[in-house]
Structure 1
Amino acid sequence: MRLRPDQLKQNLSKTLLPIYIVSGDETLLVQECCDDIRLSCRRQGFSREVLHVETGFDWNELLASAAAMSLFAERQLIELRMPTGKPGDAGGKALTEYAANASPDNVLLIICNKLESASTRTKWYKNIEAAGASVQCWPIEMAQLPRWINNRLSRLGLNASSEAIQMLAERVEGNLLAAAQEIEKLRLYTDGDTIDADTITAAVADNARYDVFGLVDRALEGNVSSCLKNLQGLKAEGTEPPYCYGH
């Protein structure tokens, strides 16, 4: 099955699948999804083993780990860190074999960087999805960021005005880790009152990340204020803005 990051926690509360593959280039979301899986396994008495897929990795290690019993627990979490998401022929066969014989005594957690679409169409990946779940962590776009911030504030018991949420989103755009850190700071900074724009101004640094492609997107949207903000950010970071030459 396929799960969104925001669906994972609820799914884990119902059942623990034998295999998860968590991928993406949004580091915070990948980390938090993996932490949720680790926590669920730990609560159910799983031990943990970590395998790193590097050049020369022996895929028999994975199958051997799956067959072995921990000295301290019969159930174990096998964490397979495979940044490239490309196991090669030997790895693809090993993962396919593992998926076909997944044991309820083990949970395999595969962690990858952003996967190419071709990787998600491979036999091994489809078998992993069929036996367990895939969780792809996409970056949070600016349009969705205020909602993400509001949900995170709510989980911490914090309330904020729409103006404050929008201001915070603008200050952390493109930098989700900074967003999480600033929200944690706000929890310490506030005394239970609704967070307003003045609080954001006083407590939150400008952590937005800017790029030329974002500038082009804002220009195509006709968003003049965001264009100017992006240009100022690029200038502060020492990046030359793009130039258009007429004919």
Structure 2
Amino acid sequence: MTKACPMKPYDIHRYLQGKKELSRVYLVYGEETFLIDETVAQLKARFLDPKITSLNLNAFSGKDADIKRVASSIGAAPMMGDHRLVIVGHIDQAKKSAREKLIPYITSPPKTVYQIYTASKINGREKFYAAVKKNGMTVECKPLYDNQVPRWIESQFQKIGKKIDSRAIQQLHLSVGSQLYDLANEIEKLDIYTQDKKVVTSDHVAFVVGKWRVNSVFDLQKMLGNRQAGEAMVLMRKIIERGEPPVKIVSVLMYFYLGLIKVHTLLKHQTSRSDIAKKARINPYFIGETMTRAKRFRREELEHNLSLLYQVDLALKTSSVPVDALMERLAYQLCAKIGER
């Protein structure tokens, strides 16, 4: 079972449900620990009978593991089941010489044993990792980009049988950030708080997570959508002074303008209000004001604003321009018509 390119975490479920023979060796690596842990949990659930897991599971930490014990576990026969599972976490923290002692078990893995190794960083040219890539399956768990987080949030609520409206997604992302473990913790709280309610709203998020940052940035969006340049510049400065990360503000505004572009496009096709809300993935409660804002801009202005946000995002990450001045000017430019910029 060889896969030259690493799989992504979201491919695992489909892979495990397939009828083809599964690999015996897995390397799950990357900087996003939540996705690593989630992937390992899926593999574990697929490979072991939960009733006898304790009999056929051995877990080690690469930093402290006795490689002889790891090798012995890989070579052991399963008890009261068809397979055993050996997990070695943080294999990158083991000595290189220790990793190389496991190569024979990777190139010729026992048919009754599954092996899972996790790591933060790997050197693909090293013999151990090269052996896994050639003979096993690799899963790369990169941190999500900011524009990928809203979809991830939505998918987590789908897993627990609930929906979350678009404004609530933005609020949650803005308030908590992009760390998946932090978001998962707040999602669990929201699930408990909303109990049997099937839709999580912005009011729920404001109550559970907090109001100030959420309301301030949504007020900023309202001012930008209404082309209130002076008010937007003042509020932008206040938000920055309160310590809100500028990159996060830019990310939320990108999401805002992408939504306006979608609505602007749908309006041209004379789609009904309810259809626009559904296709643009916007809460029907807010679709009226979103349509009004979209009509205030020409398509090229919205696209220009999105391009401007990408430029500012790059400047924030690569230049030494004073942040407060850069962000205030951004607020003005987003409100101005193209000829006035």
Fold match, TM over 0.5? yes
Once the two structures are superposed, residues 25-46 of structure 1 have per-residue CA deviations (whole angstroms, 9 ceiling, x without a partner) of: 3222111111111111223866
Cα displacement (A) at 1:151:
1.2
Distance 1:177 1:228, change over 3 A: farther
Q: What is the deviation of 1:234?
A: 6.6
| CA distance in structure 2 between the aligned counterparts of 1:204 and 1:192, rounded to whole angstroms | 18
Percent identity, please: 22
1:54 counterpart = 2:59: no
Flag the 1:96–1:6 CA change in 2: closer, same or farther, 3 A. same
RMSD, aligned CA? 3.0
The yes-or-no answer on 1:101 pairing with 2:108 is yes
**Alignment counterpart, residue 35 of structure 1, candidates 35, 41, 47:** 41
How far did residue 87 of structure 1 move?
A: 4.0
Q: Deviations over 1:96-144 (max 9, x none)?
A: 21221112200001122x214xx12323212212222111211122111
Q: Give 1:66's aligned residue.
A: 74
Q: What is residue 194 of structure 1 aligned with on the other side?
A: 199
Question: Are residues 205 and 122 of structure 1, via their aligned partners in 2, closer, same or farther at CA, if it must alter by over 3 Å?
Answer: farther
Q: Give per-residue Cα distances to partners, 1:20-75, cap 9 Å, x unaligned.
A: 111223222111111111111223866101233236x5433333222222444452
Cα distance between partner residues in 2 of 1:135 and 1:226: 40
Distance 1:39 1:205, change over 3 A: farther
Flag the 1:105–1:193 CA change in 2: closer, same or farther, 3 A: closer
Greater Cα offset, 103-112 or 181-190: 181-190
Q: Is the 8 A contact 2:57 2:86 kept in 1?
A: yes
1:111 paired with 2:118, answer: yes
The 1:64–1:181 alpha-carbon spacing in structure 2 relative to 1, beyond 3 Å, is same
> 2: CA distance between counterparts of 1:180 and 1:99?
34
Q: Higher relative contact order by CA 8 Å / sep ≥ 6: 1 or 2?
A: 1
Q: Does 2:142 correspond to 1:135?
A: no
Equivalent of 2:154, from 143, 150, 153? 150
The number of residues matched between the two structures is 218
Change (3 A) 1:86 1:227: farther
Residue identity in the other structure for 2:85? L
Q: What is the deviation of 1:168?
A: 1.0
In 1, Cα distance between equivalents of 2:184 and 2:61? 28
TM-score by length of 1: 0.75
SS at match of 1:102: coil
8 Å contact kept, 1:52–1:82: yes
**Residue in structure 1 matched with residue 184 of structure 2 by the alignment:** 180
Contact 1:23 1:115 in 2 (8 A): yes
Secondary structure, counterpart of 1:143 in structure 2 = helix
Unaligned runs of 5+ in 2: 214-232, 246-318, 323-341
More helix by share: 2
Contact 2:63 2:94 (C-alpha < 8 Å) held by counterparts: no
Shift of 1:90: 4.0
